Amino acid sequence: MASETDGADSRTPVFGDYVFYDSRMALKAIELQELYRFTHWGRSRSLEQIERMLDATDLCFSIRHDVKLVAFCRMLTDFIFRASVWDILVHPDHQGRGVGSRLMRYALSHPAVRDIPVVTSFASDLTPFLERCGFENREGLMVLQRVPIAYS
């Protein structure tokens, strides 16, 4: 494993015992389903849905600790004007250690998206966390919620 760093370099793929990945191939749907079980919005997602979702997602970011998947987020983007970050998630045993912030820095500084002018995220529970990551709370975000959040 590469040497330990404080994660100051946002593209450094190691932070203590945490190893960062920016490939969809770095995780299996079943591992992500395990992680989703800790959320009210993700626990109903089936394996088949997760597999299709991962295959259709532009960028997947994940973190492993002792081989185990402990954090994830994904981005949908046109790679020029717009990007959005979804499913930001850290395993409860690993929250509050700076893993989530570093995952966001790692994702937002990815060469494929770091120059994109507008990046959005819809996560009403995470407003303070996202503000620390550089996002602003803008009124005017409109959502067409077709299915309750627990099933979407």
Ligand X SMILES: CC(C)(COP(=O)(O)OP(=O)(O)OC[C@H]1O[C@@H](n2cnc3c(N)ncnc32)[C@H](O)[C@@H]1OP(=O)(O)O)[C@@H](O)C(=O)NCCC(=O)NCCS
**Where does this chain bind ligand X (CB under 6 A)?**
39, 87-90, 95-101, 123, 125-126, 128-129, 132
Judged by beta carbon, residue 68 or residue 80, the one nearer ligand X is: 68
What is the nearest approach in angstroms of ligand X to the Cβ of residue 99? 4
Residue 39 CB-half CA count within 13 A: 23
Judged by CB, which is closer to ligand X: 16, or 98?
Answer: 98
Comparison of 101 and 120: residue with beta carbon closer to ligand X: 101
Minimum distance from CB of 3 to ligand X (Å)?
Answer: 21
Please identify, using beta-carbon distances, which residue of 29 and 104 lies nearer to ligand X.
Answer: 104
CB of 120 to ligand X, least distance (A): 12
Q: How far is the CB of 92 from ligand X (least distance, A)?
A: 8
What would you report as the CA-atom Rg of the chain, rounded to the nearest whole angstrom?
A: 15
User: What's the rounded Cα separation, in Å, for the pair 81 and 98?
Assistant: 29
